[in-house]
Structures are given as C-alpha cells and as structure tokens.
Amino acid sequence: MTVKTALITGITGQDGSYLAELLLGKGYVVHGVVRRASTFNTQRVEHLYRDPHDPEARLFLHYGDLTDGTRIAGLLERLQPDEVYHLAAQSHVRVSFDEPLFTGDSTGLGTTRLLEAIRATGLPCRFYQASSSEMFGASPPPQHEETPFHPRSPYGVAKVYAYWATRNYREAYGMYAVNGILFNHESPRRGPTFVTRKVAMAAARIKAGLQDVVYLGNLDARRDWGYAAEYVEGMWRMLQQDGPDDYVVATGVSYSVRDFVEHCFAHVGLDWRDHVLFDERYLRPAEVDDLVGDASKAARVLGWQPTVRAPELARLMVDAETAALTPALATPVGMPTTSPVSATSPLLELA
C-alpha cells in the first residue's frame, strides 16, 4: 500500500495538532509548517514528535510563513504532498479588528498563495481550506452551505475571500479544493484567549483559590460549540471523496456564552454570578449574535456526526484545567497524559 503524504499549515494550532494525530494514526507521513518565533510554539505537537534521524519518524516540521509565498511554493515542490490541509491563519476575531491588514494578508491572501503555488507547480494534490462559520456573521440561523455570507469582522471578511479563492481555483483549474465550513470547536488545547478556554481556566483556578474573578464581554452571543478532536475527522473525510465539494461541520445546537460559563462553574460547584465581571474591552465593534450549523450534508455524504455537545465540552475542559493544576497530574494542558512527551522541543532540531 502506498503511504500518503500530508502537509499541514498551522500544525502548531489546536486543530493542527489533532489532525496530525489523526493522520499519523492512519499511517500518513505528515509535514507541518511552523512559523519562526522567539519562543517555542510547538507544545501541542511535541508528544507526536520523534528525532528525524529515527527511521520510524513520520512527522517533519519546516519553517514557513503564510506571508512568504516563495517559501510555501518551495515546500510544496520539495515535499510533493498528496493532501494539503491549510489551517494556518490569524484566527482570533477580536484581534482582527486590531490587525485588519495582517489578518487580510495571512488569513485571506495566505490561501491564494498556497492555491497559486499548487497551480504553478502542477501538483496533483487535494486541498482543504479551513473556512469558518464566522463568514455567515449576521445571516440568521440555522446556517448551511447555501446560506448567504454576511461577515462581521476583518477575520470573517478574510475568510470569505479565502472561501471564494478556493472555489475559484476548483472551477477555473479543476483542482480538488474543498471548503470545510466549521462552526466553533474547542478542546483543552484551545488558545487561552478564546472564550471557552478562558472560562474553563478561570473556573478551575477560582475553585483552587488561585484567582477570584474573571472579566468577560458579551454573554448573550450564541455559538454552536463542538469538540475539535471530532471535527478534524470531518476535514479528512472531505479529502477522501470522489470529487471536491464544500461542507458545514457543526453540532446543530447553540448555547449562549452565559450558558457555557454556567456549565463550567457549576461543574466545580460554584455560582458563576459570584465570579464573573464585565469588561468592555472584550466587546467587538460588530458582533456575531447567533450561529447554529446545519451539518446534514456532512452526515449524508461524509457519514460524519458529532457526539460531544457544549455541556460535556465544558466539563471536559474544566477537568483538564483542574488536572493541570494538580502537581501529581501535571502535564501540559491538553496533552495526553500517557503520551511520550519529549524532553526537548522539535524546534531544536530545525535551527
């Protein structure tokens, strides 16, 4: 059987780490693009990494940045992947209001840099674009593949551009290029400034007596929150079909931010109203009020279905934070406790 090769941009992010695990488990050789930082940013994949001199090594990391199209093209030409999962982006909605140009360049144009590199090199690979429910923005729920886009942030606008770039390369050049339109998905590996992880961390720390309060913004917004580990399976399935298409991936149920907060605090026996304060800095200039995905096409065509809903997600995220605060269980949050976490960072091998 031929071993497949995948290239993942954004491998150091939440989804990249779960997808790398999934693909390695399926026997793939996985190459990941890592941007250079002055600190190590590979914590989420360290448990998967082996010394590249080890004949068993199947995960390889390469420096690269979405804003550097020449580097991206060079990597594609050299690595010749069968499947490209384009997950890298400036992914924070609030930050996109502070950095709209960088967000447009990385999250929007970054996708065209990859697509154009694939076209120019003539690589017959399959391409996955990490599209987002944020593209629907103000369009009322439930949202599905045919719902009009009405983005409400520079991030959403950039993702709409990238969505259409992906469709355009599919239609113009016959590329196998798909959009996975994923609704919010979370996990213990979520970045700590997204609301679910921020609240889960706060609930565990307040329970442990390490802080008293947490400051939040809009508690009325509703999101369709699923579990990231399940969503990467949907990405992979999209690239295993006879032809390219676009799919919504969601749970079909929404909860308010307030609901999620309540579930987290109740799980550690606290009343959230005693510990949550408002700070307007966490409000956005324009908000997305209500996201509820209709993933019936993914269920029908891909056979993909979620099992974890927001209340269970809240509990598992708070449990992970609590375990991380317990010295006997101390493992970096989100990392499997049984995994062979290496003592050194993979980046030591690269420089």
Least distance (Å) between residue 274 CB and ligand NAP: 29
Kindly state whether residue 223 participates in binding ligand GDD, applying the rule CB under 6 A.
Answer: yes
Site for ligand NAP in 124-163 (CB under 6 A): 130, 132
Q: CA 252 to CA 93: how far, in whole Å?
A: 22
Kindly state whether residue 133 participates in binding ligand GDD, applying the rule CB under 6 A.
Answer: yes
Kindly state whether residue 13 participates in binding ligand NAP, applying the rule CB under 6 A.
Answer: yes
Kindly state whether residue 318 participates in binding ligand GDD, applying the rule CB under 6 A.
Answer: no
Q: Site for ligand NAP (CB under 6 A): which residue of 84, 87, 292, 308?
A: 87
Kindly state whether residue 238 participates in binding ligand GDD, applying the rule CB under 6 A.
Answer: no
Site for ligand NAP in 189-208 (CB under 6 A): 191
Least distance (Å) between residue 233 CB and ligand NAP: 15
Kindly state whether residue 20 participates in binding ligand NAP, applying the rule CB under 6 A.
Answer: no
Q: CA 3 to CA 31: how far, in whole Å?
A: 13
Q: Tell me, letter by letter, the H, E, C secondary structure of 112-160.
A: HHHHHHHHHHCCCCEEEEEEEHHHCCCCCCCECCCCCCCCCCHHHHHHH
Kindly state whether residue 193 participates in binding ligand GDD, applying the rule CB under 6 A.
Answer: yes
Kindly state whether residue 37 participates in binding ligand NAP, applying the rule CB under 6 A.
Answer: yes
In terms of DSSP bridges, do strands 29-34 and 59-63 run parallel, antiparallel, or are they unpaired? Answer: parallel
Return the DSSP state at 210.
S
Q: CA 351 to CA 345: how far, in whole Å?
A: 11
Least distance (Å) between residue 87 CB and ligand GDD: 10
What is the b/e burial string over 138-160, where b = at least 16 CB atoms within 10 angstroms of the residue's CB? ebebbbbeebebebbbbbbbbbb
Least distance (Å) between residue 71 CB and ligand NAP: 10
